[in-house]
Amino acid sequence: MRLLITVFMLFLIPACAPVIKPMGSVKGLSSLTDKALVARDGAVLPVRSCLPQRRPRAVIIALHGFNDYANAIALPAPFWAEQGIATYAYDQRGFGGAPNRGYWAGTRTMTADLRDAVRAVRQRHPQTPLFVLGVSMGGAVVMAALADAPIAGITGVVLIAPAVWGRGHMSIFQRTALWIFSNTIPWYPLTGEGLNIKPSDNIEMLRALSRDPKIIRETRIDAIKGLVDLMDSAFAAAPRLGQAPAFVAYGLRDEIVPKAPTTEIMRRMPRPAGTRRAFYKSGYHMLLRDTGAKVLWRDIAAWIDDPLKPLPSGADKKAEELLAARQ
């Protein structure tokens, strides 16, 4: 009987393998409309843009975090527009209004979409400095893309609390549970209820998110597995990120992405001229939406204007002191 059960489970596991819904076959070049990014396979990814009244002096392409969507940039984008910076944010596949909501698209597809976005925005703003900004999961996508091959046409990257908490920093219990559940019940929905995690101190914003129908609240286990795969890739990518200067920001009150892997990637990343590592003492994981987020908004605008100058807030000096103290 024990042998029969074992054989049954071996047949069951492949039948319940994690589901990935990647991009389809290439149909043409990517393009940008007022409301969407059309990827090479024809997939339509909703876009939110915020443009200055005059010709922009810089452009940001923003990638949101896990279970979020382009709305993640809604608060800082108007501020940056006042500084002459245009912002384009798109819903990544599986999130918001993009195709296959709730399903993981895979690292290759997500990085391909980023390249499509850069190409399409570059066509619209051919002579304007272009920066790619990734929040949490979005930061991991940026890192994985840069490690795979240079992204033509970018001036710099901004990584906000990048998701780098991979298997190497998880307990054996967490790794084992993820493997078992993703290979047996990958469809099972999980919520964050009962975890007692505080993603931000902006309570009003969090309440609005709880009512937002585009936010994913029940997550398939195989989507979590896909995120962990991406985080593994992002963590491993750190030493190969020397294409352009980077601004890496982390909140010291972050309860979602641990401090240890974040500081480790900060130390392992190349540091071309203009690279800034910044710690925000009162910052949570949703740094761009915290109550004190304007400090970071100003730092990003100032860094885009001149990456060689120290940040107005002094958050880069704080980071260098803390990182040096733990060498």
Amino acid sitting at position 247:
F
Q: Which of 174, 307, 166, 320 is nearest to 247 (CA)?
A: 307
On the question of pLDDT at 8 being above 70, the answer is no
Mean pLDDT of 292-320: 97
On the question of pLDDT at 10 being above 60, the answer is no
On the question of pLDDT at 7 being above 50, the answer is no
Give percent of the chain with pLDDT exceeding 70.
95
Residue 15 covered by a domain:
no
pLDDT at 12: 46
Mean pLDDT of 151-158: 96
Give the Å distances, CA to CA, from 217 to 29, 161, 182, 247: 33, 21, 18, 30
Residue 7 covered by a domain:
no
Residue 19 covered by a domain:
no
Residue 24 covered by a domain:
no
Confidence of residue 89 (pLDDT cuts 50, 70, 90): very high
Confidence of residue 193 (pLDDT cuts 50, 70, 90): confident
CB 256 within 8 A of CB 265: no
On the question of pLDDT at 6 being above 50, the answer is no
CB 136 within 8 A of CB 162: yes
How many Cβ atoms are within 10 Å of 265's Cβ, its own excluded? Answer: 23
Secondary structure tally for the chain: helices H, strands E: 10, 11
On the question of pLDDT at 95 being above 50, the answer is yes
Residues in the chain: 327
The Cα–Cα gap between 107 and 226 comes to 8
On the question of pLDDT at 269 being above 90, the answer is yes
Confidence of residue 327 (pLDDT cuts 50, 70, 90): low
Residue 275 covered by a domain:
yes
Confidence of residue 131 (pLDDT cuts 50, 70, 90): very high
Residue 16 covered by a domain:
no
Mean pLDDT of 66-95: 98
Residue 10 covered by a domain:
no
On the question of pLDDT at 183 being above 60, the answer is yes
Confidence of residue 30 (pLDDT cuts 50, 70, 90): very high
Number of domains in the chain: 1
Residue 13 covered by a domain:
no
Give percent of the chain with pLDDT exceeding 90.
91
The domain spanning residue 79 has which CATH number?
3.40.50.1820
pLDDT at 270: 94
Name which of 15-19, 20-24, 229-233, 236-240 the model is least confident about.
Answer: 15-19
pLDDT at 75: 98
136: enclosing H helix or E strand? none
List 48's β-bridge partners, or say none: 89
List 110's β-bridge partners, or say none: none
Mean pLDDT of 300-327: 92
Mean pLDDT of 253-270: 95
pLDDT at 173: 94
Name which of 165-169, 193-197, 223-227, 305-309 the model is least confident about.
Answer: 193-197
Mean pLDDT of 23-49: 96
* Mean pLDDT value across the chain: 93
CB 249 within 8 A of CB 161: yes
Report long-range pairs for 186-189 (Cβ below 8 Å, ≥24 apart).
Answer: 186/16, 186/17, 186/18, 186/19, 186/220, 186/221, 186/222, 186/225, 187/16, 187/19, 187/220, 187/221, 187/222, 188/220, 188/221, 189/218, 189/219, 189/220
The Cα–Cα gap between 64 and 93 comes to 11
Instruction: State the residue range of the domain holding 94.
Output: 29-325
Record the tokens describing residue 206, joined without a space.
């969090």
